[in-house]
Structure 1
Amino acid sequence: MWALIEPLPPPWPERSPGPRPVSDRLCPQGILFVLYNDIAWQLLPLGLGLGFGSGQACWRRLDRWQKAGVFDRLHRVLLAELHAYELVTSPDGPG
């Protein structure tokens, strides 16, 4: 699944202030953890060794990706994959 997502986020600026950013691969896990468990961003657990960084880091990445259109592109990529495996049909297409 990561192979589909990896090319979508914009590259991180090489010279950005602050600490090194959390991996693009781990942030979606933190974002999904917050959404799935319906918790506030600041309650994202850091001490469990899950590695997705702070809630603030994940929220910032979510905001950055939303502004960059990452989720719109991800939606199109995933739909194309589902169509390729004939797991979903378009209302105006065959099926």
Structure 2
Amino acid sequence: MDDRLSKRLVPEELWALIEPLLPGFVPRPQGGGTAPADERAVFTAVVFVLTSGCAWRMLPPSFGVTVPTAHRRFSVWTEAGLWRRL
């Protein structure tokens, strides 16, 4: 991911506000999979989808996050009330 785009979508000041609000990572109950994704990369990918109008399935791989991971984390954050608290 181009660091300039990442910093423009989620500047340091915004990340400092958001990071403490993110719920902790909970492994999937079915097990397997890989290690947790970088929270900032996932958040940046979600912001990109929400602000660009890009379809989830068209999320560029340059974000370093898979589409299912980004969408699943968006759903978890929505259920946790992240967007209302922001």
Does the TM-score normalized on the shorter chain lie above 0.5? yes
In the other structure, the counterpart of 1:30 is 45
Q: Which has the larger radius of gyration?
A: 1
Structure 2 residue runs without a partner (length 5+): 1-13
Structure 2 counterparts to residues 1-95 of structure 1, below 5 A: 1-13=14-26, 15-16=27-28, 17=31, 18-46=33-61, 48=62, 50-51=63-64, 53-74=65-86
Q: Which has the higher helix share?
A: 2
Report which structure shows greater RCO (CA 8 Å, sep ≥6).
2
Q: How far did residue 9 of structure 1 move?
A: 1.2
Q: How far did residue 38 of structure 1 move?
A: 1.8
Q: Residue type of the partner of 2:25?
A: W
The runs of 4+ residues in structure 1 deviating greater than 6 Å are: none
Structure 1 residue runs without a partner (length 5+): 75-95
| Distance in 2 between residues matched to 1:6 and 1:71, nearest whole Å | 13
| Distance in 2 between residues matched to 1:42 and 1:21, nearest whole Å | 20
Aligned-residue identity in percent: 37
| Distance in 1 between residues matched to 2:18 and 2:55, nearest whole Å | 25
Count of aligned pairs: 70
Q: Is the 8 A contact 1:9 1:70 kept in 2?
A: yes
